[in-house]
Amino acid sequence: MATFGDPGFHMHAAMGQYLALLAFHLLDDDLIPFDLPNYAIELRAYYEDLVENIDASGEELDVSPIASAIDVFEKRAKEIDAQAKQAVSLGDERLIKLVNSKYRDFQRGFVSQGGLPNREFFKHVVTAPGLDTGMVPSCL
Amino acid sequence: MEAEAKYVSSLFCHRDYGADVSYASVLASWDAEEYGLLGSTEWVEEHVNWLTETTVAYLNIDVAVSGPRTVLGATPELHTIATELFKKIVFPNFGSFNKSLYDAWQDDNAGEAHVEVLGSGSDFTAFLHSGISSVCSSSACALHN
């Protein structure tokens, strides 16, 4: 440890500072610092990868319902983001509280109660380890 | 773990803040990660109702003392804040303090470093699949020779 890896634990300390600062903002900012429109951007990228994979496989599969779901998601994400910005600029504490409670529960909506087919431990409908990729994620 | 605890307490116990932060925080260290994420999974299963009613986010560090190259993964709503704050921490850089963790992260990845998608293989898994926003970080791998 004195010679290899992270001698002096300097990098370890820097990551400690980073996580502490991240925790601090999540705990103390008036508005939880979430960026929901970015979730829509990422969903769109996962969708494009999915379409590419389907095309490459030569199979026919209609995934357009996913595209329309992402359109709806994107619209709603922009709405809540606008509401959040308005709440902060007006200093409206009740609206900030409302947005915070929606942000806090935001991820819960991606959980499938029954879990993914044949591997119920994994419940997130957007991202999970691929069926044959070990720990590496596979989306949508 | 010790470093995280130290910095968390130094930030939160500052006299201007004290117990005045809006939410409670829990600092945890998990057993049996390599054996199948046993410690964290058992804990999440035990407390799942409390966690899903109240949790804002889960922050993970795995491979915490292993080298100067950083890896960052997160659920997409956390990408912006995770990246912005990465720019605010000084990279130790063997005594030369002229770049941030973000700069070093980009340098290591030819300027194309991005926040990764969370898969599995670390203790965030049970949290993520219970619908909790998550970040996974590590400082791993030796520099290229």
Domain boundaries, chain B: 31-140
Q: Are B11 and B89 in contact (CB under 8 A)?
A: no
**Residues of chain B neighbouring A50 (CB-CB closer than 8 A):** none
pLDDT value of residue A55: 94
How would you write the pLDDT of chain B (145 residues) with one tens digit per residue? Answer: 667 777 777 776 655 555 556 678 899 999 999 999 999 999 999 999 999 999 999 999 998 888 888 999 999 999 999 999 999 999 987 667 789 999 999 998 999 999 999 988 899 999 999 999 999 999 876 554 3
Test B55 with A104 for CB contact under 8 angstroms: yes
Distance CA B122, CA B38 (A): 10
**Residues of chain B neighbouring A13 (CB-CB closer than 8 A):** 3, 7, 92
A35: amino acid identity, one letter: D
pLDDT value of residue B94: 67
Q: Using CB atoms, which residue from B17, B68, B82 is nearest to A22?
A: B82
Cβ–Cβ contacts within 10 Å for residue A138, how many?
17
Domains parsed from chain A with CATH numbers = 7-139 (1.20.930.40)
Q: Which uninterrupted H or E stretch holds A10?
A: helix A10-28
ipTM over 0.90: yes
pLDDT value of residue B145: 35
Long-range contacts of B4-7 (CB under 8 A, 24+ apart): B4/A15, B4/A16, B4/A19, B4/A20, B4/B61, B6/A16, B7/A13, B7/A16, B7/A17, B7/A19, B7/A20, B7/A21
Cβ–Cβ contacts within 10 Å for residue B125, how many?
27
* Residue among B49, B48, B30 at smallest CA distance from B40: B30
pLDDT value of residue A137: 82
**Residues of chain A neighbouring B3 (CB-CB closer than 8 A):** 9, 12-13, 15-17
pLDDT value of residue A43: 96
pLDDT value of residue B13: 64
Distance CA A135, CA B4 (A): 26
pLDDT value of residue A104: 96
Residue ranges in chain A modelled with pLDDT below 50: none
Q: Using CB atoms, which residue from A12, A32, A136 is nearest to B65?
A: A12
A55: amino acid identity, one letter: D
